[in-house]
Amino acid sequence: MNEVFKALADPTRRKILDLLKDQDLTAGDIAEQFEMSKPSISNHLKILKSAGLVMDEKKGQFIIYSLNSTVLQDVIKWLLDKKGDGLHEKK
């Protein structure tokens, strides 16, 4: 879970996730949305993939990135559970 939060802490990675929520994209498509080098975008994608937040699939010469909504759902559930725990402690 710590790896997920570390990945989400960066605004560039959050923007990448936001782009992927609408459609699957290649690294080149993602890089076009930023004013940074392609190797930097690749590093951000590697971190997101390592955290399980994105998946990739090779299609021909391209790698298509997609959002892994299962992990995001797990994070939301965890946060809601923690919020619920905090409410019970205050009573």
Alpha-carbon distance of 48 to 46, in angstroms, equals 5
Residue boundaries of the structural domains of the chain: 2-90
Instruction: Please provide residue 65's backbone torsions phi and psi, each rounded to the nearest 5 degrees.
Output: -100, 140
Torsion of CA 42, 43, 46, 50, to 10 degrees: -170
- At 90 the pLDDT is 47
- At 86 the pLDDT is 63
Q: The domain 2-90: what is its CATH number?
A: 1.10.10.10
- At 83 the pLDDT is 76
Query: What parts of the chain have a pLDDT lower than 50?
Result: 90-91
- At 79 the pLDDT is 81
Contacts of 30 (CB under 8 A, 6+ apart): 16, 19, 20, 41, 45, 65
- Our measurement of the distance from residue 21's CA atom to the centroid of its chain's CA atoms, rounded to an integer in Å, reads 10
- At 64 the pLDDT is 97
Alpha-carbon distance of 13 to 66, in angstroms, equals 13
- At 87 the pLDDT is 53
